[in-house]
A and B are shown apart, each in its own frame.
Chain A
Amino acid sequence: MKKLYFREEWCVGCGRCEVACAIEHSESKHPVISYFFEKVRQTPRIIVERKGNISFANTCRHCEEPDCVNACISGALYKDLSGKILYDPAKCVGCYSCIMACPYGAIMKDLNRKERKQIVKCDLCNKREGGPACVEACPNRAIVFEERGE
């Protein structure tokens, strides 16, 4: 299965992947409208970790044996047939067990959703043509989407 891989040596830390992710998961898919005018401002499913000269993007690895799915008490996280780890907000009870279980820190609290506790996680831009939005937004090919047969 094609997955996202991050190349620390080329990450410039600009954070365009975060913006692209938030836009892609918004209703309007418009950079300005989605930020200012939508009911819920999207939380990026990818975050850029920065320290000094080093930076890299970080998001879900879609693990073969996902700790988050095992930790999920309500069945909101599941692995689909293709191997993607997906999230069903309707089933989520907001216990944040998955956040604690994820060894990569790739699951984020959805702090913009005030009505109840939820999480956000990468869905590899499930239905998007042309693959994940972050890959296209990266100015330096620091995120690649490829099959490495792991």
Chain B
Amino acid sequence: MKFTFSLKPENFIIERDDERCIRCGACVQQCAYNAHYYLEEKDKVLGINHNCVGDGRCVAICPTNAIRIKQAENPYRPNYNWTKERMMDLYEQAENGTVLLVGMGAPTPHPVYWDKIVLNASQVTNPSIDPLREPMEVKTFLGSKPDKIEVVFDKNHKPEIKTRITPQLELEVPIMFAAMSFGAISLNACKSLAKAASEMGTFWNTGEGGLHKDLYKYGKNTIVQVASGRFGVHVDYLKAGAAVEIKIGQGAKPGIGGHLPGEKVNHEISVTRAMPEGSDAISPAPHHDIYSIEDLRQLIYSIKEATDYEKPVFVKISAVHNVAAIASGIVRAGADAVVIDGIRGGTGAAPKIIRDNVGIPIELAIAVVDERLRKEGIRNHASLIAAGGFRNSADVIKAIALGADAVYIGTAALMTLGCHVCGMCYKGICNWGIATQRDDLTKRLNPEIGAERAKNLLKGWKHEIQEMLGAMGINSIGSLRGNRLNLRAVDIHEPYLSILGIKPAGA
């Protein structure tokens, strides 16, 4: 235990009930942050509060429930302006003079509009539907839809569709796993999500980390990403996936590139990303071949050409101020789907100041993009996928009612694998075996269990979505899409009401 001087007080207090502690040593053995140790001469297990990040591994693993982790109060004098967090950040920067790094989505108190939007239900004048007794369709197709469908009749008067439909993704449930690269998360985490997605008939996303050879078998349910670093991108990779996603931005760090430190780039990652072992994987902030919508169109069509026009191409941007105009440009550039990632979107590592201050909430972005595309008459040319901090099925269904076709979930998916949102992803020593590449830690996540749990989440949310649809008297998710009349706002005022395009409750 180091005895050094620091202005930073501890963030967590480890409370151990000595009457329950049976000295089994599980907490000592399991904490990668070394927050517990065993003092043999006194036969005592002790905690080092300073090392604790509050990820709850010890709490979960302790066989006698002897451990409690409490948030430490600020021993100094915080006030409304100088909160504990701001004081800690200052002390941290005074010590090392760097950009503060964080993991996870923004925990800032920006309003979460989902909590201020309520759903409708049928009463008397139209019947509600019981999804357990009657069919309830939640299947969703992602991709460009034609303006009209031309039907011709042959000599025997048999109808035939003449319009060529561009490639579509078929989702059994309108929820996909967001882009998280092998590198940011462990291979076992990727395997869990890939397996869960393929068993549930939905999709997972490779992020920009390439596709590991063990994951090619899930290709049918994989969205492969092409980001500014172009890691692991080759024609087999593009052809292995069901769709290709061009990542321009990420909700947690709009306008910022990525940086996977060299110590994480082990043999498997170097092979998957096609880069030297031990070297930093740096994704530039912009794509250096995309400085305009026209450039984006070139890349979209290069990818379509490379994949024989068999796969839809998505473009992912973070929700920023002119998101509607940008989305319109993306659709006109030929994208089959626009992905928008809101300010609460997660990350493995981002500058804290960017994560907490750049971007706009996803609720507003969905509303303005859907509205704009409708007004321009091009809403059918591309699907709209929303991402960034979806916490439950109600958030999902509200997003769909605002105009999204499907959503991506990242943090929620990781939580099924054990994530406790401690936000230490960037440290690379995740106790739960998710955001780490250390062999002894990655083995803590058995993909058999992970896949079952991630699948259970999708199953649960699917049932809940069906129940909510049934309550509204709707028997297909397609009838809810963009149907903002089923939403009402509580405690949202102008101009946000008109941006969201919903009425206040009671109206």
Contacts and interface: CB of A to CB of B under 8 A. Distances in A.
Interface of A: 9-16, 18-20, 23, 31-32, 35-36, 50, 52-53, 137, 139-142
A19 B449 contact: no
A16 B452 CA distance: 22
A104 to B, nearest CB: 22
B61 A10 contact: no
Given A31-B22, A32-B19, A139-B61, A14 B29 contact: yes
Contact of A10 (B25, B439, B443): B443
Given A13-B29, A141-B448, 13 more contacts: A14-B26, A15-B25, A15-B26, A16-B24, A16-B26, A19-B63, A32-B19, A32-B64, A35-B64, A53-B443, A140-B444, A140-B445, A140-B449
B427 interface: no
Contact of B22 (A32, A140, A141, A142): A32
B115 interface: no
Interface of B: 19-20, 22, 24-26, 29-30, 60-61, 63-64, 439-440, 443-446, 448-449
A14 B30 contact: yes
Contacts of B64: 19, 31-32, 35
B440 A53 contact: yes
Given A15-B29, A31-B64, A53-B439, A141 B446 contact: yes
Contacts of B19: 32, 36
Contacts of B30: 12, 14
Contacts of A12: 30, 440, 443-444
A35 B64 CA distance: 11
Nearest to A142: B446
| Pairs of residues from A and B, 6 with the lowest C-beta to C-beta distance, nearest first | A53-B440, A35-B22, A19-B63, A31-B64, A14-B26, A12-B444
Given A14-B29, A15-B29, A31 B444 contact: no
A12 B61 CA distance: 11
Contacts of B443: 9-12, 53, 140
A20 B64 CA distance: 10
A15 B62 CA distance: 10
19 contacts: A11-B443, A12-B440, A13-B440, A14-B61, A15-B26, A15-B29, A16-B26, A16-B63, A18-B24, A19-B26, A19-B64, A23-B63, A31-B64, A32-B20, A32-B22, A36-B19, A53-B440, A140-B449, A141-B446
A14 B61 CA distance: 8
A13 B440 CA distance: 9
Interface residue SS majority, chain B: loop
- Most chain A CB neighbours (cut-off 10 Å) among B60, B444, B445: B444
Contact of B24 (A9, A15, A50, A53): A15
Nearest to A17: B63
Contacts of A11: 443
Nearest to A138: B446
A20 B24 CA distance: 11
Nearest to A34: B22
- Most chain A CB neighbours (cut-off 10 Å) among B61, B63, B446: B63
A20 B26 CA distance: 12
Contacts of B22: 19, 31-32, 35-36
A11 B22 CA distance: 21
A70 B24 CA distance: 34
A12 B445 CA distance: 9
Nearest to A10: B446
Contacts of A141: 446, 448-449
A16 B446 contact: no
A31 B17 CA distance: 14
A13 B31 CA distance: 12
Contacts of B24: 15-16, 18-19
Nearest to B433: A12
B53 to A, nearest CB: 18
B4 to A, nearest CB: 29
Contacts of A32: 19-20, 22, 64
A23 B22 CA distance: 11
Given A19-B22, A32-B19, A140 B29 contact: no
Contacts of B26: 14-16, 19
Contacts of A16: 24, 26, 61, 63
Contacts of A9: 443
A19 B445 CA distance: 21
A127 B83 CA distance: 57
A91 to B, nearest CB: 31
Contacts of B29: 13-15, 50
Nearest to B61: A14
A19 B60 CA distance: 15
Contacts of B448: 141
A15 B61 CA distance: 10
A18 B26 CA distance: 10
A93 to B, nearest CB: 31
Contacts of B440: 12-13, 52-53
Contact of A137 (B25, B63, B439, B444): B63
A14 B63 CA distance: 10
B18 to A, nearest CB: 11
Contacts of A35: 22, 64
- Most chain B CB neighbours (cut-off 10 Å) among A11, A12, A16: A12
